[in-house]
């Protein structure tokens, strides 16, 4: 592929990170569905979202994008019934979105020991 990514259809435990070639504003997450679809299609280049989705039951991986052996992107789908639009939260930190909204509807299970949103919040506070 011209962007330098290796593409796979299965996650086999590789580390998850950000593509160092992308600026923060280029690491996006987007999803789409229409009235006919039973599934939400989602693509993400944000490591917290990718990690949360890969750790979730009910999420079907369509494509994983790797750069130098590190997962930096994901194309996946999950049932629309797992999607919830909630009231605004105090924090806009990506880790809070994954651990809150997605976990509420069962997309992201509790990940004892693997994912600690409080560490992301602490990092975000330090960055200002």
By mean pLDDT, which of 13-17, 69-73, 101-105, 121-125 is the weakest? 101-105
Q: pLDDT at position 17, please?
A: 95
pLDDT digits (tens, 9 = 90+) for 10-66: 999 999 999 999 999 999 999 999 889 899 999 999 999 999 899 888 899 999 999
State the average pLDDT over residues 68-78: 95
Q: pLDDT at position 83, please?
A: 82
Rounded to two decimals, what is the model's pTM?
0.66
Q: Which tokens go with 118?
A: 């409080």
- Can you give the residue ranges of every domain in the chain? 6-127
pLDDT digits (tens, 9 = 90+) for 104-118: 444 444 444 444 455
């Amino acid at each position: 592929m011209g962007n330098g990514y290796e593409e796979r259809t299965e996650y086999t435990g590789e580390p998850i990170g950000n593509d160092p070639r992308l600026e923060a504003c280029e690491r996006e997450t987007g999803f789409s569905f229409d009235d006919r679809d039973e599934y939400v299609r989602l693509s993400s280049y944000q490591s917290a979202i990718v990690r949360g989705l890969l750790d979730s039951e009910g999420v079907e991986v369509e494509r994983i994008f790797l750069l130098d052996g590190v997962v930096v992107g994901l194309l996946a789908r999950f049932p629309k019934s797992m999607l919830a639009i909630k009231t605004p939260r105090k924090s806009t930190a990506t880790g809070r979105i994954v651990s809150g909204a997605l976990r509420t509807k069962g997309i992201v299970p509790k990940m004892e020991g693997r994912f600690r949103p409080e560490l992301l919040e602490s990092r975000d506070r330090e960055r200002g």
